[in-house]
Structures are given as C-alpha cells and as structure tokens.
C-alpha cells in the first residue's frame, strides 16, 4: 500500500512539487498576516515572515524527499543525461553498442544452447517425476550384448515392474536404428521401445494414439507412431494417414498415431518412427542385440526409465530398487546389485561429457566479450579525456569525484543495457537459425530463452559493465581540478592561455581541434603522469 502510494507520488512528482510550493507560500502569507495583525507594516511583515520561515526551497526539498528518495532522483537524472550524451556522440556510441551487442549476444546464444542441451528434461507430462534408472553392476556391463549401456535384462525389468511400489511404471527405452520408410531415399530413424512408453511417460500425441501394452504383445498386429516432422515431410501433414498401412524396409505397419511437434524423442537425436519391441524382431531378426536381449530375457541389457509413484522421492525409490535387485540376484555380492536414479536432463546424466564441448565454446565466447570490453573501455577512455574540461569544471564547482564516477558509470550502464537488450534479441534468434539451417534433420534440441537465459544475459551484462566502465570512469576523474581548468584553451573562456613559447610539436590546441584528433592523441595519455604540461602532448 505504502509502496503504491510512493509510486503514485513518483508519477505525480510535478504535481507534488507544485502543491508543496503553494502550500509553503500559503504558510508564509498566513504568517505575514499574523504579523500584520500584530502591527507591522505589510512590507516589514513580508520580510519578517520570510526570515522566520528561512529557506523555503530547503523545506520543500525535505518534504519532497519523504516521497522520493533523493538518490533515486539523481540516478534518474544521471540516466537521462547519459542518454543525451550517448545520442550526441552518435559515432562512438554506435561502435560501442555494436561491439557489446555482438559480445553479449554471442555469450547468451552459447548459453541458451547449453541451457537447452543440459538443463531441459524430456518433453513429457510431469517430466520431473520421470527418472532414468541406471545399473551400476560391473557384472552386467561385462555381459552386455551390444545393447544400451548400463541397463537391465528384460527378465529383471519384469521382476522389478511386478514388485516395485515406488515406481508406478517402468519404461523400456530399447534401441534406436534406421530403416527405409516406404520408398523414400533417406533413412528414417527408428526407436524400438517398450509398450509403456507412451502411456507411462505421457508423450503428447496430436492425432490418433500412442501404442500400449496390448500393441506390444507377441501376436499383436505391427503398429508404428510417427513424429510430427517425419509425418509432415513424408506424408504432407495429412491426418488421414492414421489407420493406414505404411512399409518399413518393405514390411507393412499400421500408423496409429502422430506426436505433437514438441516431441521428437527422449534422447539428443531426433526420432522419426516409434515401434514396439516386438517389431524389432520382425525387422531385424539377425541383429545381435535383438537376438541376445530380446531373444534371451536373462541377457543384459536395455536402458530403463520409470515414473515415480505419487509422493515418492528418488531416494526412496532407489532404496527399494536396491532391495529388489538383491532379491533378483541372490547369488551376487551386494555391490553388484547397485542401482542409480537420475533425472532426465543431460546435467543429471552421469555418462554425459559436457565439458569437452562447452568449455571451448564458452572460453571462446568469453574471450570475445573481454576483447569487446577492452575496445569499448578504450573508446570510453578517449571520450572521457575529450570531456576532461566538462569533468574539471564540475569538480571545481564542487562535485565529488564519487558523484562523477557514478555519472560515468551510469552512462556505461545505459550503453550496456541497450546493447544487452539487442544482444538478447540476437541470442533468441541466432541459435534457431543455426539449428534450422544445419541441424534440423537430426537434433531434438529445443532452444528457447527462459529465466535462466535471462539471468545469464544480465550477469554477462554486469561483467561487461564492470570490465568496460570502471577503468575509464576512475581514470578520467583522476586529474586534479587545477590541471583540468588550466589545460583549457583560451577560446573556451575559462582558462589561462598556454605559454606562447611552446614548441611546435607541443600544440595544446591540437587536442581541442576536433573530437577525432583528440581521441587519437589522448588514447595513450592517461597513464602518463601529468606534472609537466609542456611534455605531455609529445
């Protein structure tokens, strides 16, 4: 409530000012009237009332400060002045803006890809309740027959499914492969998955339905589900394809459903067609994985996921699965029955090797940011030197150095904020274009800016602000008042004329002849101690 009133006060601050001024004037005139009643003449009473009231402006500002903290007002003032300054020096502003925009945009783009790659769970219903179940037993890893890494044998999956209470449904993720869809030239990517895949995960379906346990039985007619991009590409996005028969590697399958565009698989790669595990035995009867894992239920292994039962934590589920595995393998040592539950993001995947890809990417992007900031810092330094007279005058009028540093930092902040906004726009657009052009065929990556990307962009902007703002602000305000004013050439009407005997090389006027020569001349000047004014310009 109080905050609301304060905000209203800010919006109506002109009105507030006018009210206060009028109110204080009324107060004064009332005091004057009282004095006149006491016998003073009108003029004397007016003067006396003024004296009695003291500094009216001060009183007004004190009263006004109750509503609007003075620092907010001065920050606002700084920001407006900064915007004006930046507009006035259009050339250097555009250069700085461009450099920072590219640097922040690039960093944010890399991060948004990283974000989509690493932190996004599977695009299924209630994804944070879905876990990958990993087998940590060395015995199984040794025995595995070309199957998915660190999974379970089908017999064990069946045992766990029958007894586990903490996992409501297990999902056999099976195996991916490729095959020819009808008479198309390019290969379609196939995923052979368990019968619970669509129902337990809650895969979003646009038309028809996903297959269920009934379609996965040994005698069920062969069925497939198509992904949205595959359906659009191969069948022109015609919904009537549902229920018709297509051929995979020459064998007939009935299309029973099409996923929504949001779902193209649970892995990194993009899937075109999903089939029940039984279909794999039809399509690839001689494949070693099909023979060894599907053909012999005791053989390891197939990757496994599961949905946690309501109210169950992953730790509870892990504890139960550990017990069940020991029961299933009574002959094994306890550590050979170990099991691990992880979320479905890549960040949670113990096998993912993220640093080899992203460390170089982020290093490169960070370097671009540092280089851009160094350049912008140089530009600002040069500009600050060209503005030494302005700064010197302000210092000599009594402005504190802190106040001027703040002013210069505000200018940089306005610059960085504008560049950051443009950079984020780039970051939202660029990865989509890159994926669209070069990776649309195979990746399941969905890049979209979210709160995490926004936080990263703000952090990158803050880094850029510190990197390119601090040094120029501190450096250009370091010169003493006397120096700044004395350096001022006579035509500015503020300083002492420079000595006539100055050598031809040391022409102080050069520096003021125009912004460009000023910049080139002073770019390396700030680190030279400014004691002898004659040598400084050599």
Partner 1 sequence: MGLTNEPPDLLPGTLDLLILRSLVRGPLHGYAITERLKTVSQDVLQVGESSLYPALQRLLLNGWVKAEWGASENNRRARYYTLTAAGRKRLDAERDEFERLVGAIQRVLRLA
Q: Which residues bind partner 1 (CB under 8 A)?
A: 1-2, 5-6, 9, 19-20, 22-24, 26-27, 29-31, 33, 53-55, 58-60, 62-67
CB of 78 to partner 1, least distance (A): 25
Q: Please report where in the chains the tokens 């407006």 appear, as a residue.
A: 80
Percentage helix, strand, coil for the chain under 3-state DSSP, each rounded to 5: 60, 10, 30
Residue (27 or 378) nearer to partner 1, CB:
27
CB of 46 to partner 1, least distance (A): 15
Half-sphere exposure of 4 (CA within 13 A, CB side): 1
> How far is 521 from 528, CA to CA, in rounded Å?
13
CB of 40 to partner 1, least distance (A): 17
CB of 67 to partner 1, least distance (A): 6
CB of 31 to partner 1, least distance (A): 7
CB of 113 to partner 1, least distance (A): 48
> How far is 327 from 140, CA to CA, in rounded Å?
16
Torsion sign (Cα): 135, 276, 259, 237: positive
Which residue intervals of 208-287 are DSSP H helices?
A: 228-235, 277-283
Q: Cβ distance 272 to 263 under 8 Å? A: no
Residue (50 or 401) nearer to partner 1, CB:
50
Residue 129 main-chain phi, psi, to 5 deg = -100, 0
Q: Please report where in the chains the tokens 């125009």 appear, as a residue.
A: 514
Residue (17 or 249) nearer to partner 1, CB:
17
Residue (30 or 421) nearer to partner 1, CB:
30
Nearest to 112 by CA among 525, 445, 534: 445
**Distances in Å between the alpha carbon of 454 and those of 108, 335, 347?**
8, 44, 19
Residue (46 or 281) nearer to partner 1, CB:
46
Residue (2 or 500) nearer to partner 1, CB:
2
Q: Cβ distance 234 to 228 under 8 Å? A: no
CB of 21 to partner 1, least distance (A): 11
What single DSSP character describes residue 265?
A: -
**Peptide bond before residue 329 is cis, with ω within 30 degrees of 0:** no
Nearest to 297 by CA among 201, 218, 191, 211: 218
Residue (10 or 512) nearer to partner 1, CB:
10
CB of 375 to partner 1, least distance (A): 47
Residue (53 or 434) nearer to partner 1, CB:
53
3-class secondary structure, 259: strand
Region for 250 from its dihedrals, namely left if φ exceeds 0, alpha if ψ lies in -120 to 50, beta otherwise: left
CB of 33 to partner 1, least distance (A): 7
Residue (36 or 89) nearer to partner 1, CB:
36
């Amino acid at each position: 409530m109080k905050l609301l009133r304060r905000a209203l006060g800010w919006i109506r601050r002109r009105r507030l000012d006018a009210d206060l001024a009028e109110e204080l004037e009324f107060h004064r005139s009332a005091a004057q009237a009282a004095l006149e009643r006491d016998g003073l003449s009108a003029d004397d009473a007016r003067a006396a009332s003024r004296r009695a009231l003291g500094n009216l402006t001060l009183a007004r500002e004190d009263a006004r400060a109750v509503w609007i903290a003075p620092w907010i007002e001065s920050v606002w003032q700084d920001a407006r002045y900064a915007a004006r300054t930046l507009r006035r020096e259009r050339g250097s502003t555009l250069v700085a803006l461009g450099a920072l925009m590219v640097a922040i945009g690039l960093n944010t783009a890399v991060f948004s890809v990283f974000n989509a790659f690493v932190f996004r769970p599977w695009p299924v219903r209630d994804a944070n309740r879905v876990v990958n179940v990993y087998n940590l037993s060395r015995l199984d890893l040794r025995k595995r027959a070309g199957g998915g890494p660190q999974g379970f044998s089908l017999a064990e999956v069946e045992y766990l499914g029958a007894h586990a209470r903490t996992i409501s449904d297990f999902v056999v993720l099976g195996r991916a492969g490729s095959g020819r869809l009808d008479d198309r030239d390019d290969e379609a990517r196939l995923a052979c998955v368990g019968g619970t895949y669509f129902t337990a995960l809650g895969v979003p379906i646009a038309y028809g339905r996903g297959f269920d346990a009934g379609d996965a039985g040994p005698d069920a007619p062969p069925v497939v589900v198509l992904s949205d991009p595959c359906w659009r590409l191969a069948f022109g996005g015609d919904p009537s394809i549902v229920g018709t028969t297509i051929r995979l590697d020459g064998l007939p399958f009935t299309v029973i459903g099409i996923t929504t565009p949001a779902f193209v698989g649970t892995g990194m790669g993009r899937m075109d067609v999903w089939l029940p595990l039984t279909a794999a035995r039809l399509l690839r009867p001689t494949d070693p994985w099909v023979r060894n894992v599907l053909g012999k239920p005791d053989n390891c292994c197939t990757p496994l996921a599961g949905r946690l039962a309501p109210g169950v934590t992953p730790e509870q589920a892990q504890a139960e699965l550990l017990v069940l595995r020991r029961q299933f393998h009574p002959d094994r040592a306890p550590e050979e029955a170990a099991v691990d539950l992880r979320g479905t993001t890549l960040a949670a995947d113990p096998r993912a090797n993220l640093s080899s890809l992203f460390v170089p990417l982020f290093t490169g992007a960070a370097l671009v940011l540092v280089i851009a900031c160094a350049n912008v810092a140089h530009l600002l330094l040069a500009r600050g030197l060209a503005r030494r007279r302005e700064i010197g005058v302000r210092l000599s009028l009594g402005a504190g150095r802190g106040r001027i540093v703040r002013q210069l930092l505000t200018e940089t902040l306005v610059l960085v904020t504008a560049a950051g906004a443009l950079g984020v726009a780039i970051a939202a657009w660029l990865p989509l274009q890159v994926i669209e052009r070069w990776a649309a065929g195979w990746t399941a990556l969905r890049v979209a800016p979210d709160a995490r990307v926004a936080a990263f962009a703000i952090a990158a902007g803050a880094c850029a602000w510190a990197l390119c703002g601090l040094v120029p602000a501190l450096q250009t305000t370091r010169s003493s008042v006397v120096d700044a004013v004395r350096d001022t050439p006579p035509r500015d009407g503020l300083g002492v004329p420079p000595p006539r005997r100055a050598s031809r090389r040391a022409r102080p006027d050069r520096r003021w002849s125009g912004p460009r020569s000023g910049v080139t001349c002073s770019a390396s000047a700030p680190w030279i101690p400014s004691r002898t004014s004659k040598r400084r310009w050599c």
